[in-house]
Amino acid sequence: MRASPAGCSRSWSISEDSLRRYVYYASESCIQELLSASESNRVGSTAGHDGWEAVGMENDVEISRRRSGSLHTFRSRWVLKSVSPQQFMTVANAIDAAKQWDPDLVEAKYIKDLEENLSIIRLRFGDKSKTSFRNREFIVYERRETMDDGTLVVAVASLPKEIAAGLHPKQNNSIRGLLLQSGWVLEKLEHDSCMVTYLVQLDPAGWLPKCFVNRFNTKLVMIIENLKKQLLACPTGRGDP
């Protein structure tokens, strides 16, 4: 791993093998956090409350939050009837989620595939986007895993800024935000249905009040509803509207 020459914005040149090892290590923590969040506060769970506070219900989606420094982590859960985890997995990814965050997403592309289930993605939002995303970009990893019990997990989070700068230099007019942690847990239920848990903690960076960011994060977890509509609009989608 090598630093950039003096006078340049700080970045690290990293080999693909080192990048793969780093992302696997970092994503393990994210996966465990996602699995823990999917169990916490559930009826019959032995995981304890773990600091989660119920915010409310909206269109049958349960919303909770947990204090994580100045930025809260938000969680949403929903039982999708007649939708299997495999079906929902087709839209449970960083790019489809970003399209739900803001319809003015300018660019979403895979920078590098490290493994079949491990990728690096760039998300870029334009000057017409919502305040929290205006002229912002995110360089994230996406890891997709199937647990021993069949539970599907999709973990998505930003790379450290030095590694991200080495992979894709930041544009002068953009602000590089941080997706601190996010992702999906998809658990199979009876009758080909599934329990979907979505977690997000986002720091869009720039001069935005933390209270505004926390309110915006509350809205982000509702993308479960929009993604289900997207799934059902596909020719292969099925289920109850």
Please list the alpha-helical segments (H only) found in the chain: 16-39, 85-89, 94-101, 161-167, 210-220, 223-233
> Is the residue at 5 inside a domain?
no
Q: Does position 117 have pLDDT exceeding 90, yes or no? A: yes
Name the helix (H) or strand (E) containing 80.
strand 73-80
Is residue 193 within 8 A of residue 81, CB to CB? The reply is yes
- Greatest Cα pair distance, the chain, in angstroms, is 60
Number of structural domains in the chain: 1
Q: What is the pTM of this model?
A: 0.84
Report percent pLDDT > 90 for the chain: 34
Q: Mean pLDDT in the chain?
A: 82
| pLDDT band at 8; cut points 50, 70, 90 | very low
Domain of 35?
15-41+52-233
> Is the residue at 47 inside a domain?
no
| pLDDT band at 68; cut points 50, 70, 90 | confident
Is residue 50 within 8 A of residue 32, CB to CB? The reply is no
Average pLDDT over residues 4-17: 62
Is residue 222 within 8 A of residue 58, CB to CB? The reply is yes
> Is the residue at 34 inside a domain?
yes
pLDDT at 182: 92
> Is the residue at 147 inside a domain?
yes
> Is the residue at 25 inside a domain?
yes
Q: Who wins on pLDDT, 84 or 8?
A: 84
End-to-end CA, the chain? 50
> Is the residue at 109 inside a domain?
yes
Q: Does position 5 have pLDDT exceeding 50, yes or no? A: no
> Is the residue at 102 inside a domain?
yes
- The CATH code of the domain that includes 100 is 3.30.530.20
> Is the residue at 3 inside a domain?
no
Q: How many C-beta neighbours within 10 Å does residue 77 have?
A: 21
Average pLDDT over residues 179-206: 89
